[in-house]
Amino acid sequence: MISHTETRSILKNILTGGLHHKKHLTTEFLELLRKTGRRKGFPAAFKSVMRNWKSWIEAKIFYRHIKVPVALIYGNEDWSLAEERMVTRDLIPGCRYQLLPNVGHFISLEDPAEMVKIILRGP
């Protein structure tokens, strides 16, 4: 069985891999994530999401049918490959693509103010 300390350490390692500035991952936020993970029903829901990861990739065949405005936002230090981002951008008709400087995969942790501006501005 994994202890709470090991769980926190594993979670921290995973999340810091998606950050450009590691300082944005606070102890308080990690603790909140750990508490969330212990809520009733969460482990089963999370396992279901992880079991179906292949469907995320397969869903790309439907992107060309999207009829609503889309803003596709990436950090310039995101762990996804630039080529993958361009493929996604090109599959979504009329999407607005934006690359943010000095952030990784978790933009809302590293630059929450910019993320709010983007959401409020809309696609």
- Which domains are assigned to the chain? 4-121 (3.40.50.1820)
- Give the pLDDT confidence of 35-51 residue by residue, as tens digits: 888 889 988 888 888 89
72 phi and psi, to 5 degrees?
-105, 110
- Give the pLDDT confidence of 75-99 residue by residue, as tens digits: 999 989 999 999 999 999 999 999 9
Token pair recorded at residue 15:
């999340």
- Predicted structure pTM score: 0.75
* Cβ neighbours of 110 (radius 10 Å): 23
73 phi and psi, to 5 degrees?
-115, 130
